[in-house]
Amino acid sequence: MALPLLLLQIWATVGAATIDNAKTLPCEPSSFTDPIVPGARVLSITAEEKRNFDIPAVPGLLEPVSDLNFCDVQIYLTHPGANDKVLVKTWLPLTRDLWNARFQATGGGGWATGMLDLALGPAIASGYAASSTDGGHPVDYFSADWTLNQDKSINWDLLQNFGTRSLADQIYVGKSLTEQYYGQQPRYSYWNGCSQGGRQGYAVAQRYPELLDGVLAAAPALRFPALTMSFLWPNLVMKVSGTVVSNCEFNWFASKALEECDILDGAKDGVIGDPDTCTFDPRRLVGEKLECSGVEIEVTEAMAEVVRRVHEGPSTPFGENVFPSLTYGTSLATFVNATANPDGSRTLNDPGLDVFARTILLRKSDNSNNYGWIMDSDNPDMSAFRDAGGKLLSWHGTNDDIIPSKTTVNYRQRVERELGGAKAVDEFFRLFLAPGVKHCAFGNGAVPKDPLETLRNWVEKYEAPDTLEAETKNKDDEVVTRNLCRYPRKLRYLGLGDVNKASSWTCEGGDKEEELRGERKTFRDEL
C-alpha cells in the first residue's frame, strides 16, 4: 500500500475514535449494569441527569456550591439474610471535561453513615466522581433509634453497615459506575471524612486496605463505643461528687487555662499551642471569684476538683486512664448542661442528646462489650495498607470539644510501636495537630485549607507533606495563617514578624523524640 494512503487510513481511524470530551454522556438506567459488590445484591438502579443543581452552605463547615451538572445514579442493594435496603448515591460529572479522572468516597457524621448530598456536592464541584451511602437507615446525625429493633434488641446488621460494611459497598459501587460511565477506571481513588467520617476512613484503611490510594481522615472517632460513654463523664463526676459546676463556671476555668498557657508557644494569640505543655491546675484558683447569672461565686476546693477530674478523664482504681478527656481551654458546653441560678444554686439538666439515651440502652443490652469489632477503628497493624501503597493523612484540632485529640495521638503512637517507629510510619501515615481548632472546624485556631489536595500531591507526586496550610480569621476579622506541623513537631513563634502570618512561625522538636522512639523499638526487637 502506498505510504500516503496508509497515513490517510490511520488518520481516519484515529479521527473516528477521537472522544469528544465536552459531550454530555448518556445518563439513564440502561447506561449501567449491576456493579459487583461482594456480599451484597443489587435491588435497583436509577439514573437521572441533574443540571444547575445547588447545595446550600453549612455555616463554618461547607461553602455553598451551585450550578452543578452531573449524572445522579442511585443504587439500592441488600445483604442476604440482613433484610436491609441500602442506598448508595453516586454522582458523576456529565462530561469527561468536567471529570478530573478521580473517584472520592465520602464519609458520614454523628450517627449518619453518610452525608449524601452535603458531601457529594463539594466533591462534584472539585471534579470528582463521588459516592455516599445511607447505610440502610435514616440520615440523622443525632438520633440512633435505628440501632434498635422494635423489640429493643440490637439491630446488628445495620450496626455492621454503619461500622464497616457499607463503607466498602459504596466504594465498590462508585468505582464500578465511574468506570462504566467514562469507559475507564479512575486514575486514583480517595476517602474524605471528618468525625464519624474520619473513623470510617481509618476503618477502610485497616479493613479494606487495597480499595483506595489515599485516605483523608480528620478528627476521627476511633473508639466510638468508648467515646459515646465518655460523653457522660462530666455529668457522672458531678453526680458522684455532689458538686455541680455550671457551663458558665467551666468556661471561666477554660479562660483561665488559656491565660496561663497561651504564651507557652512564644506568642499571645488566643491559642494554646501545645496542650501537653500546659500544666494548668484548677485547684490553684480556689478562693478566686467570678460572676455567673449576676451572682458572685467563690471557687471552692470541691468545684476545682470536679473540673480537674472532668479534664483528667475516666480512670481505673489504679490510676490508668480509660479514655482521654478534653484538653484544658476547651469548652465543655456540648456535654455539660448545668446552670448557675441567680439564687446561687445549680441545676444539672438532662443532657438532652439522643446519643446519651441510646448509649445507655446499648450498655444495658447483652454483649455490650462486643461493639468494638464493628465500631472501633483503632487496630494499630496497618501493614496491609502500607504494603498496598496507601497514604493516610489525618489532622485533629487540639481544642476539639467532642473527640479528644489525644485519642488520635495515642493511636499514632501505637502504630509506631507496631510498625517500626515514627520514621517508618511517616512513609504512609502522617498526623497534623491544629492548635485551637474545635471539632472539624471553628475555634480560634487556623483550620486546614485543602488537606485533600495535600494528600493528592503525596499520592500522585510523591510529595510527602511536612506542613499543612491552615487559615482562619481572628476576632478583629484579620486573616490568620499557619503551616501546621507534622506530628510530633510543634508550632513555635520566631519572636519576630506578624503573629498572624505563617512565616512568623516554625516547626520545632520531634526529630530527637522520633529517633529515640525508633531506638527503643529496635532495642526491644533485638531483645
487 contacts 508 by C-beta, under 8 angstroms: no
Is 176 an active-site residue? Answer: no
The pLDDT of 51-57, averaged and rounded, is 89
Please indicate whether residue 439 is annotated as part of the active site.
yes
* Nearest alpha-carbon partner for 146 in 358, 377, 351, 369: 358
pLDDT band at 237 (very low <50, low <70, confident <90, very high): very high
From 137, 311, 396, 439, the catalytic residue: 439
Residue pair 112/196 in contact by the 8 Å Cβ criterion? yes
Average pLDDT for 220-246: 90
Lowest mean pLDDT among 112-121, 284-293, 370-379, 406-415: 370-379
57: confidence class by pLDDT, cuts 50, 70, 90: confident
Residues 378 and 301: their CA atoms lie apart, in Å, by 37
Bigger pLDDT: 335 vs 240: 240
The whole-number pLDDT of residue 363 equals 52
Contact status, residue 36 vs residue 172, Cβ threshold 8 Å: yes
Q: CB burial class (10 A; 0-12, 13-18, 19+) of residue 11?
A: exposed
Nearest to 138 by CA among 155, 121, 120: 155
The fraction of the chain above a pLDDT of 70, given in percent, is 89
- Rounded Cα distance, 357 and 299, in Å: 32
> What is the structure's pLDDT at 346?
87
Query: What pLDDT score was predicted for residue 6?
Result: 46
CATH topology of domain 188-222+380-527: Rossmann fold (3.40.50)
The catalytic residue among 134, 262, 376, 400 is: 400
The answer to which of 188-192, 227-231, 478-482 has the lowest mean pLDDT is 227-231
Domain parsing of the chain, residue ranges = 21-186, 188-222+380-527, 232-352
**pLDDT grade, residue 517 (50/70/90)?**
very low
For 119-185, where are the E strands, in sequence order? 129-133
pLDDT bucket at 504, cuts 50 / 70 / 90? very high
Query: Residue 227 has what pLDDT?
Result: 87
pLDDT at 187 over 90: yes
Residue 357 pLDDT > 80: no
CA angle at residue 397 from 394 to 400, to 5 degrees? 125
- Which residue, chain included where needed, has cell 471552692? 300
Decide the pairing of beta strands 429-434 and 391-397: parallel
Task: Pick the more confident residue, 110 or 351.
Answer: 110
Residue in 131, 195, 246, 377 annotated catalytic: 195
Beta carbons of 177 and 35 less than 8 angstroms apart: yes
> Is 365 one of the annotated active-site residues of the chain?
no
Average pLDDT over residues 513-524: 45
Lowest mean pLDDT among 67-76, 122-131, 135-144, 347-356: 347-356
Predicted confidence band of residue 369 (pLDDT cuts 50, 70, 90): low
The pLDDT, as a whole number, for residue 368 is: 42
Strands 346-348 and 467-473: unpaired
Residue 36 has pLDDT above 90, yes or no: yes
514 has a pLDDT exceeding 70: no
- In this structure, of 60-69, 202-211, 436-445, 458-467, the range with the lowest mean pLDDT score is 60-69
pTM recorded for the entire structure:
0.90
Q: How high is the pLDDT of residue 98? A: 95
Note the pLDDT of residue 525. Answer: 46
Integer Cα distance of 351 and 357 in angstroms: 9
199 vs 142, more confident: 199
Query: What's the mean pLDDT when you consider all of the chain?
Result: 89
Q: 197 by DSSP, 3-state: which? A: helix
What is the model's pLDDT at position 333? 87
pLDDT band at 395 (very low <50, low <70, confident <90, very high): very high
Least confident piece of the model among 228-232, 258-262, 445-449: 228-232
From the CB of residue 323, how many other CB atoms can be counted at a distance below 10 Å? Answer: 17
pLDDT in tens, 193-228: 999 999 999 999 999 999 999 999 999 999 988 888
**What is each CA distance from 33 to 75, 87, 178, in whole angstroms?**
11, 16, 12
Mean pLDDT, to the nearest integer, of 496-520? 76
- Structure confidence at residue 414 as a pLDDT band (50, 70, 90): very high
In the prediction, which pLDDT does 374 show? Answer: 85
Q: In whole angstroms, what is the distance from residue 79 CA to residue 157 CA?
A: 9
